[in-house]
Amino acid sequence: MNEVIERLKALGIQYELDEHEAVFTIEQINALGLNERGMIPVNLFLRDAAGKRHFLVIHDGEKHTDMKLLRSQIGCSRLSFGSDERLMKHLGLTRGAVSPFGLINNANHDVELVIDESIRGRGKLGFHPNVNTATVWVSWEGFMRFVEACGNPMRYVEC
């Protein structure tokens, strides 16, 4: 968590931090009332069938991801969830703490960031700071500044 906070400070990104009990689902986050502060997107770590491409998909937690549509937009024949080992290897994260802030651990920039169009330009966004016992709130502009500083390939899709 400290590394994320330090990176946000270094980039001049304003943020707010909420520390809370460990949460693993959007339902648990909503039960804590965190969703009242802003949008908390769902973050999925996926891989292609060959295991050569890895994706961090960020979408609105209020809607279901159409995997067939997603596959066609990112050019994959099949997608599946990345294993715990792959998640740790590529983003330095554990299950339940998947977050775009994990991109700071992806030195090879080989995880492709895929953002659902429905969250583009949203006001306040909440993400785990690489642990699921806290939520960091940033503006859309701050989020984009962070993403661009990480240097990973990025695209927008309709989920």
| pLDDT recorded at residue 117 | 94
Check if the beta carbon of residue 152 is closer than 8 Å to that of residue 111: yes
Tell me the pTM: 0.94
Residue 79 CA, distance from chain mean position = 17
Which residues are 114's β-sheet partners? Answer: 57, 155
Hey, where are the domains in the chain? 2-157
CA–CA separation, 72 and 90 (whole Å): 23
- Provide the residue-wise pLDDT of the chain in tens; the chain has 159 residues: 899 999 999 999 999 999 999 998 888 988 998 888 899 999 999 999 999 999 999 998 778 888 899 999 999 989 999 999 999 999 999 999 999 999 999 999 999 999 999 999 988 999 999 999 999 999 999 999 999 999 999 999 988
- Which residue type does 106 have? N
Burial class (CB in 10 A: 0-12, 13-18, 19+), 53: middle
**What does CATH list as the number for 2-157?**
3.90.960.10
Q: Give per-residue pLDDT as tens, 105-126.
A: 999 999 999 999 999 998 899 9
pLDDT reported for residue 1: 85
Using CA atoms, how far apart are residues 59 and 158, in angstroms rounded to an integer?
9
